[in-house]
Structure 1
Amino acid sequence: MGKLAIYCRKSRDSKDRDSTSIDEQKIQGKETAAELGLEPLLFIEKTSSGKLDLKDRPVMVDMLQQISVKDSPIKAVFAYDTSRLYRNDETKGQFLAIIKRKNMELYFKSGRYDWNDPHAKLLHNILSATDEFFVDLTSMKIKDTLRSKAKDGKVNGAVLPYGYTKDENNYLKIDKEESKIIKKIFDDFIDGKTSTQIRNRLIDEEVPTRYNKIGGTNKIIHKERNETRVYNKSNSIWTNGTILQILRNPIYKGQRRWGKEFFDAPVIIVPVKWEKANKSYINRNKGSLRGKSTEHKYLLTPLLQCGCGQSLNGRSNKLENYYGCAGKRYKEKRCNSKYIPIRVLDAIIIQLVYGKLYDTVKKSLSGSNSDKRNELQARINNLESELKKIEANQIRIEDLLADDTITREKYLRQVKRLDDKANNILLEKSNIEESLKSIQGDTNILKELEELPNRLHSVMDYPFEDTHPGQMKQLIDVIFKGHLALKLPFLEKQKTIRKLIRNILVKWIPENRLFKLVISYRLPIDDEIYLMDSLTLHVVDAPKRAIQWVNRIRYEKHRDITIEATQKKLQGYIL
């Protein structure tokens, strides 16, 4: 038997003080339920204002949550009059939109609500405007349900902590085999082993990770480089971070964390041993999950990408700081790339940006760019067509939802998919428009690049104005400007480089013993390709093989190697 939701409210508004009592509202509601052949379901809100927003009216929110669930038994809603339900336009719009979505009838003492009145005809627009509220309403209900399950000791569908599984009734229970691994991790750590030693042992013994067992894929979004990578979870390995997270998770001593609350859980590690391990952790790492912090500042890390697809991170030791592939952190070394001294790669990029980039962009903008403009405009037109298709699909699925052809859950999934696709297209379109704007004669970027040398003059006077004419002067210009730029404040260099460069690909080519550097700019110029020898002594541009950078200090340490020999080797490499 279906139910009639009967909403009763005692007002605290002065205008409503003479309104009908709660008892009278209940009587009228039950009479309406009998007439409709529905079971009465009371929602009584004591002394609240109809002017309040929905979020401040808990009983009404509860009613709407019960209405919103799939296969809700509630088939209609009754209120004594409209003032019981709402006294502000926003609440009215939200309430009516939700009722309309569920194709429910609304009844008052005066009779059934007329959905054909002028206000009701606007509900098609209100429906789309209240999507966010509807999602929030559903989310509140879901969070309450999940919390209740956690409190009762049940699982919620998320990936379970290592060492636990669930029984046939969805209650959390200890996994006998995995719990042995957890106990061994704690014992090893208390005995003085490091997280690296523990994870290496697990890999050597081929102990499967949680993701090895469940499979699937994992998507990682790199915002700085505007790219998304997808990894197979079945290929995941034990990491230091995973070990430390296990050691720090209170669930193993019987305290399941849920937000700021803790609920009881089956105990794998007795509390005394858990506390001992965590005290050892704090003493070793001084409270830092990542271990000791470093004072060195890494200029390029968000922009760097290894040829294997991983990021390049900063590394340090007593003698030198390096950029190295993130895949080299573990002993199996999935990547065979070489480390690059940070001062070397930083100096190369700084010299290119401060010493050469202005002339490159100026040359690009000075020539005939009609073909390039047409190409970019065509790409923009194609993206705009894609956006129109997405808009049409959004309207279509809204109609399907209104007709109850698709479920609310499927609607939300489709909306998210289309929104993500539209956002990616808008981002790509924005990047292309930025390049097109520059090509069409906008000189703002060129002026900004032209101003960069002025900052260098504030550091040191430029000594080579007229002493080296022609091509030699240009080369010395580039070198000296790059040298001066090294003396600029770190944050200033960082801001400039991140503004101008989108990505720096560093690919180690072992068969030729050299690095290939590909620099992608946020400017209307093609990617630049450079080659560098394995000892990081020498850099040439790939197309012309002209010298771009020479590390004379390092050459002095390798006296058996000459600039000419390195230059010849780099010139002989075939792309």
Structure 2
Amino acid sequence: MPKVAIYVRLSKEDREKLNKNDNSESIINQKRMLLSHCEKEGWSVYHIYNDEDFSGSDRERPEFNKMIKDAKEHKFDIVLCKTQSRFARDMEYVEKYINTLFPIWGIRFVGLVDNADSENKANKKSRQINSMVDQWMLEDLSENIKATLKTKRRQGLWVGAFAPFGYVKDPNNKNHLVIDEEAAQIVRHIFDLYLKGYGINSLARKLNDEQIPNPSTYKKSKGQSFHGECSDIWSTYSVHRILKNEVYIGNTVQGKTESISYKSTKKKLKNKEEWDIVKGTHEPIIDLDTFNLVKETLSKNIRSTKTGMASIFANKLRCLRCGSSMRSQKTNTGRYYTCHVHYVAPSKCEGTYISSSVLEKTVLNEIQKLYNSYIDDAEIENQLNFTDNSRIQIERISKQIESINKEIAKVQSRFKSLYYDKVDGVITQDEFSVLNEDCKSKENSLQKQLNELNDEIERINQRQAHADNVKDIISEFKNIKKLDRYTVQTLIDYIEIGGNRTNRIIQIHWNF
């Protein structure tokens, strides 16, 4: 009595195509059909190999590969499938196994529904043709899926299998992200700690010490899907990935990788210029200013001290004499900042140095002096708030823009009339050319005026945004008592240090 290996497979695409009233492709019905045929033929079933949610082109199917191994060891005599395409949609695999290795190993292949039988030499060509058709269909399907996903990505629709940490898929629209407030608080906490001076390593340690769940642990606790295995610790990679992810400012960034081939699950990284980035597709968790500040700090690769915290002046100090950066140096009497060039090549720069305590005290005093000039809220309004004036200017310019747009519409209408007059013979080609040039010249002049007015509105909005930004900064740091890295990062572009102990020069360049 021949021993039979039954192989059944159902891909994710097959499952989605199933009609509620048609279970013919289901795993259960495939098994039932094939077992019934074995009973009818008097064959003994050795084992049922079952691959669910695997494509027929996937070469990593676990049960399929186990069956091939068993076939090589001749643990059975026949491989039985519903159709040849259930075995494989890859023409190379059909040729390799059904038409080459199986005969060598003494294994017969039978596809029940499509009458594929390796013992029947007469239908070999038809089996090969079917294999080619299956592969063509698979290629077409792959390209169609790629095109559909690319279109969705370019529209800013989320097509990822899982929502990024801090978000969930909108229950009313699976292609839209909504904030998961509990997870979003963790994301905000990470950005806040980083701006306070925690390095990536120390930040990961702090999150673990605080027993804050990492993304996979959190999602598992909420019954959400996640990628990969569930690790219960924060790694530097996961922290860094969150800090640089634009999804947290409301942008979708997708299409970073692409499949090497429809036959393989392996992917390769694409150039950033090829990524699909769409701005403002969902509600942000992190404001743009905070994100940009973190991005700037990350790009400078600022190192943390032995305490795990970055120096509050890291990457902010320059030697007034040579313009080079200043390095932090710990001594028995405290921390000092010295010229880097002088440290490595004393002959190149006379150098300068300053103690951390003196610099902190001086900068704090300068910050307080800066805010003392704005101590009166009414004075702040007088100096910075020109909202009403801006509104009046924008209204005036908008009226001019409206008038110019009407003139442009008239010119375009006139051109159409001239064209019809030329077609109808009312005017000659030469007359049309002269009048057409006049219309073009007039339209170009109006368009130039329009561009200048739009630029002026943009400048007004930028000035207003700058004023609002300075007001916000003043309000946030008005009563500062102790200097920290966040304050320095927010307020100061860089500081130049010069002079000597008796004649210290400290020049602060503000961010506004």
TM-score past 0.5 threshold: no
Q: Scaled by the length of structure 1, what TM-score is found?
A: 0.25
**Larger RCO (alpha carbons 8 Å, 6+ apart):** 2
Q: Scaled by the length of structure 2, what TM-score is found?
A: 0.28
